[in-house]
């Protein structure tokens, strides 16, 4: 049985739908940052596939860096406790940042991150998230570049995991045996 065609997972957003939307996001970002030096900051681990596709649609001389944040243990509910598992490797003072996230769920991780980054005095900070679950937001997070709004369901694939697995699915899927 192939995991790419698993009985436990139903396709929510196909690879084609993802690619089409990501090309649009890349074009918007390219237009908005014409005269600015942009650092694209990927939030590991979930961003790695989305970011890889997105940056290839940004037609600008960007710099990329990564931060590792962890707010989920082995469960599917947000703890609100955020751990920095890897910090940026560069100084961001007076730089324009675009944070690339896989999903904004409660928004607690992003809220913590924004507060943390503000202390480093960047010129601007904007957010690009592939997915958002507005019904679950506990804090208000401005998402300038949003791929898709989804319902309050746990999703996997295209970088998103369930307990570490399924990140390599080429689509966004719903795990049918998980709430
Ligand atoms: P938040 O702090 O509740 O916004 O959650 C942020 C992080 O939780 C995301 O960056 C994901 O890593 C993870 N997460 C939230 N919802 C899902 C989901 O449906 N599938 C997989 N991971 C999720
Ligand atoms: Mg994440």
State the CATH number of the domain containing residue 18.
Answer: 3.40.50.2020
Residue 103 lies in a domain: yes
- State whether the beta carbon of 173 lies less than 6 angstroms from ligand 1: no
Residue 1 lies in a domain: no
| pLDDT one-digit tens code per residue, 4-62 | 777 789 999 999 999 999 999 999 999 999 999 999 999 999 999 999 999 999 999 99
- State whether the beta carbon of 157 lies less than 6 angstroms from ligand 1: no
Position 60 scores a pLDDT of 98
Residue 7 lies in a domain: no
Which residue segment(s) compose the domain that 117 sits in?
14-152
Residue 32 lies in a domain: yes
| pLDDT one-digit tens code per residue, 147-172 | 999 999 999 999 999 989 999 999 99
Position 4 scores a pLDDT of 75
State yes or no: pLDDT of 179 exceeds 50.
no
**Preceding amide of 156 cis, omega within 30:** no
Distance 69 CA to ligand 2 centre (A): 7
Residue 125 lies in a domain: yes
Report d(CA 147, CA 29) in Å as an integer.
12
Residue 2 lies in a domain: no
Nearest ligand 1 atom, CA 162: 21
The verdict on whether 105 is a catalytic residue reads yes
| pLDDT one-digit tens code per residue, 61-110 | 999 999 999 875 545 566 677 889 999 999 999 999 999 999 999 999 99
Options 105, 152, 161, 179, the catalytic residue: 105
Position 57 scores a pLDDT of 98
What is the count of structural domains for the chain? 1
Measured N-to-C along each axis, helices 15-32 and 48-55 cross at an angle, to the nearest 10 degrees, of: 60
CA angle 29, 30, 32 (to 5 degrees): 60
> Would you say 109 and 141 are in contact if contact means Cβ atoms under 8 Å apart?
no
Position 81 scores a pLDDT of 78
Residue 173 lies in a domain: no
Nearest ligand 1 atom, CA 154: 19
| pLDDT one-digit tens code per residue, 122-142 | 999 999 999 999 998 899 999
Residue 9 lies in a domain: no
């Amino acid at each position: 049985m192939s995991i790419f065609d698993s009985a436990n997972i139903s396709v929510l957003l196909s690879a084609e739908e993802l690619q089409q939307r990501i090309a649009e996001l890349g074009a918007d970002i390219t237009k908005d940052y014409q005269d600015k030096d942009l650092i694209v900051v990927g939030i590991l681990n979930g961003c790695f596939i989305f970011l890889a596709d997105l940056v290839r649609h940004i037609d600008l001389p960007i710099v990329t860096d990564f931060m590792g944040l962890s707010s989920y243990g082995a469960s599917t509910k947000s703890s609100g406790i955020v751990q920095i598992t890897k910090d940026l490797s560069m100084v961001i003072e007076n730089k324009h940042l675009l944070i690339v996230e896989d999903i904004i769920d409660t928004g607690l991780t992003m809220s913590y991150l924004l507060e943390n980054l503000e202390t480093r005095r960047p010129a601007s900070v904007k957010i690009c998230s592939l997915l958002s679950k507005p019904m679950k937001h506990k804090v208000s997070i401005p998402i300038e570049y949003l791929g898709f709004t989804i319902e309050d369901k746990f999703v996997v694939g295209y970088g998103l995991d369930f307990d570490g697995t399924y990140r390599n699915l080429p689509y966004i899927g719903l795990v049918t045996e998980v709430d």
